[in-house]
Structure 1
Amino acid sequence: MKNRQLTDTAQALVCGGRGLLAMDESNGTCNKRFAAAGITQTEPFRRAYRELLATTPNLSTCISGAILYDETIRQRTAEGVPFATLLTEAGIIPGIKVDIGAKEMAGHPSEAITGGLDGLRERLADYWSMGARFAKWRAVIALDDRLPTAACIAANAEALAGYAALCQEAGLVPIVEPEVLMAGDHDLERCRLVTETVLHTVFDALYEQGVMLEGLILKPNMILPGLACPIQPAADVIAEATVTSLLRVVPAAVAGIAFLSGGQSGELASERLNAMNIKAKASGSRIPWPLVFSFARAIQRPALEIWKGQAVNTAHAQQALYHRARCNHAALRGEYSAALEAA
């Protein structure tokens, strides 16, 4: 019965032409973004902003699930409704970020290992009781001409697999996020080679832990050159490289692939996602998983810049949020365009 529930939840998150809204920024990250926008960095303002996101009209037409942070899942709307309840009633599945962030890896300068396994079984039980039905864990893989090391890849893969097994034990669908970072001047080919190595290692670890792939969602980076690379290929080139790599290393049994935005602009992320889904349509049944999104800044940024912590701007900010969600919703059908962006 639990396996069926996991599979059903995973399918609900990635099917039907919708994607995920990542609103799981830690308090520190949220405060940094608030500071840049001139917004007061306190819990009441974080709560108000999260209510703005969660109460955006018609959001469920484009968004299947929302990833929350520990503070957020414990918060309520101004009317006293828990955010998880609000989202569920709106037709959006609540999820929860459960890692505690990346820490410096001992003996490996410039590399990081994600923590949070200690006490995770108990925390997952609490999150389930609060209404969460899926979870997320992010591993951070730095990339340059000598990194990542095999040790860093292996350590993060083992942590991801341990987390995923605990999630499924608790009845939560694990989103597995091994992010190869965009920072640097590496080219597309270097990103491809490293990403394929990382994913190979992650799926080996998942297999060893007995994780059921039908009840799991992969949240990978797109195959992209570094931000400082002088050659930035067109969207169709990135789509070809990304889909080809995934076909090489991701088992067909995985429920779906929800791309992270990784610091891309909203427009670029939508354009590249659109190119991938055009390719998927053209290939017929060759691509076995839905290709959706799990974006944070690439959806949220315009809304935050409009809101500025002022209630009078809420409706306008929600319109901007819904517009970005609609653009990505169109990209899942291969129908994103400059005309839609300007609408």
Structure 2
Amino acid sequence: MQTRTLEQTLERLLSGSRGILAADESQRTIEKRFRAVQLASTEETRREYREMLFSTPGLGEYISGVILFEETLLQNASSGKSMPQLLEEQGMLPGIKVDKGTSDLPGFPGETFTQGLDGLRERLISYHEAGARFAKWRGVLRIGPGQPSDTAIVENARSLALYAALCQEQGIVPIVEPEVLMEGAHDLQACTQATERTLLGVFHALHQQRVSLECMLLKPNMVVPGLESREQASAVQVAEATLRVLRHSVPSAVPGIFFLSGGQGAEEATERLNAINELARHAPWVLSSSFSRALQSPVLTHWAGRPENREEAQQILLARARLNSLARLGQYDPAQEQNLQNSA
């Protein structure tokens, strides 16, 4: 394992009060998001969109790394520079999503396992040569009657652990992402229990696979009620539940926890991240964000493929990233959202 290389990457990803931008949407996902703004998803429109994001002036002040889809990692910007070069010029590290999506778990209706381990060692070598310095693999768990099952937790944990070990072997920092989905009518307590069971299973598998916890990052869900739940949880309640689970299940050796946004709105995710950091003054981990929709949705809606909207869309992205940076410090104020709306 290339320990010093991994440590140097982590130093950059964890530096300042920055977060990680997840811009690794699959072709199917980005097509759905483009369709919502009446924009066709082609290789060119995807390149234009992501180049617009990555070239936002000053973005590197608030974003330390960007998770890319394979297509983007291998693309060139309009200037002829590679996308990784574009990111490096802004002080942001290129990362890569390496899983191949989910498939139904045999014998367990409604549950999934993640594909992509076949040939992963060879792909990681080529990704590193293309400029990627960290990676991401997502396991997906659902809450429902009898779910997540022990089998689903174990199978997803094993895949995450083997992926992480392969990354560290190649000098690539692994982001381990076990996501307990927000979909459903479950309450906060059900999400608490499912998330804790999942994280305990993941760290057991990481230990068995001899993954260096000091040289990885965790990307979990926040503990929240389901999207269809009648229960309303305040930002403080979410923060308390999330921190309780983390303290029960995540070793202090892990240097950083970067929360996914899942189905949360942009303001909602930022407010909850802020509450977590306000309550976690003595936590052993850096607690930051690795948002996708909660960072990109307002930007894509404003841009919508129109060149004349490019600069304003970039200003929205920069402001949204800055607010998340403040939330990492526990210094976010919802009143700051009004300034963002006025500038849009």
> What range describes the TM-score normalised by the shorter chain of this pair?
over 0.9
Contact 1:6/1:171 (8 A) holds in 2: yes
Q: Give the letter aligned to residue 335 of structure 1.
A: Q
Correspondence for 2:154: 154
Correspondence for 1:205: 205
Contact 1:11/1:255 (8 A) holds in 2: no
In structure 1, which of residues 288, 297, 301 is the aligned counterpart of residue 297 of structure 2? 301
Cα deviation for residue 14 of structure 1 reads 2.4
Q: Output aligned runs, 1:140-151, within 5 Å.
A: 140-151=140-151
* Residues 50-104 of structure 1 deviation map (CA, whole Å, 9 limit, x = unaligned): 1001101100110000000000001111111100111012100100000000111
Contact 1:134/1:173 (8 A) holds in 2: yes
* Equivalences, count: 339
Q: Give the letter aligned to residue 233 of structure 2.
A: P
Cα deviation for residue 7 of structure 1 reads 2.1
* Residues 292-336 of structure 1 deviation map (CA, whole Å, 9 limit, x = unaligned): 000001000011001111111110111111111011011011111
Contact 2:271/2:334 (8 A) holds in 1: no
In structure 2, which of residues 325, 335, 342 is the aligned counterpart of residue 339 of structure 1? 335
The yes-or-no answer on 1:56 pairing with 2:56 is yes
The yes-or-no answer on 1:22 pairing with 2:18 is no
The yes-or-no answer on 1:321 pairing with 2:317 is yes
Separation in structure 2 between the aligned mates of residue 63 and residue 330 of structure 1, nearest angstrom: 12
* Residues 141-193 of structure 1 deviation map (CA, whole Å, 9 limit, x = unaligned): 01113211111110000000000000000100000000000001111111111
Contact 1:143/1:180 (8 A) holds in 2: yes
Taking only the aligned residue pairs, the percentage that are identical comes to 51
Cα deviation for residue 218 of structure 1 reads 0.3
Correspondence for 1:252: 252
Say which SS state the counterpart of residue 338 (structure 1) adopts.
coil
Separation in structure 1 between the aligned mates of residue 104 and residue 120 of structure 2, nearest angstrom: 20
Contact 2:9/2:173 (8 A) holds in 1: yes
Separation in structure 2 between the aligned mates of residue 261 and residue 339 of structure 1, nearest angstrom: 21
Contact 1:15/1:290 (8 A) holds in 2: no
Q: Give the letter aligned to residue 162 of structure 2.
A: G
Contact 1:145/1:186 (8 A) holds in 2: no
Cα deviation for residue 339 of structure 1 reads 2.2
Cα deviation for residue 276 of structure 1 reads 0.6
Correspondence for 1:223: 223
Q: Output aligned runs, 1:1-343, within 5 Å.
A: 2-281=2-281, 285=282, 287-343=283-339
Q: Give the letter aligned to residue 342 of structure 1.
A: Q
Q: Given the two structures, how large is their TM-score scaled by the length of structure 2? A: 0.97
Contact 1:239/1:273 (8 A) holds in 2: yes
Cα deviation for residue 109 of structure 1 reads 0.9
Separation in structure 2 between the aligned mates of residue 205 and residue 274 of structure 1, nearest angstrom: 30
Q: Give the letter aligned to residue 39 of structure 1.
A: L
* Residues 85-135 of structure 1 deviation map (CA, whole Å, 9 limit, x = unaligned): 110121001000000001111111101100000000000000000100000
Separation in structure 2 between the aligned mates of residue 200 and residue 338 of structure 1, nearest angstrom: 34
Separation in structure 1 between the aligned mates of residue 206 and residue 31 of structure 2, nearest angstrom: 34
Gaps of 5+ in 1: none
Separation in structure 1 between the aligned mates of residue 3 and residue 16 of structure 2, nearest angstrom: 21
Separation in structure 1 between the aligned mates of residue 8 and residue 243 of structure 2, nearest angstrom: 25
Separation in structure 2 between the aligned mates of residue 188 and residue 145 of structure 1, nearest angstrom: 15
* Residues 18-62 of structure 1 deviation map (CA, whole Å, 9 limit, x = unaligned): 000000001111111101110112110000001001101100110
Contact 1:7/1:255 (8 A) holds in 2: no
Q: Moved runs in structure 1, 4+ residues, more than 2 A?
A: none
Separation in structure 2 between the aligned mates of residue 109 and residue 192 of structure 1, nearest angstrom: 22
Q: Give the letter aligned to residue 170 of structure 2.
A: A
Correspondence for 2:342: none
Cα deviation for residue 265 of structure 1 reads 0.2
Question: Which moved further from structure 2: 306-315 or 90-99?
Answer: 306-315
Q: Given the two structures, how large is their TM-score scaled by the length of structure 1? A: 0.97
* Residues 257-304 of structure 1 deviation map (CA, whole Å, 9 limit, x = unaligned): 0000011000000000000111122xxx3x100000000010000110
Cα deviation for residue 17 of structure 1 reads 0.7
Gaps of 5+ in 2: 340-344
Contact 2:196/2:249 (8 A) holds in 1: yes
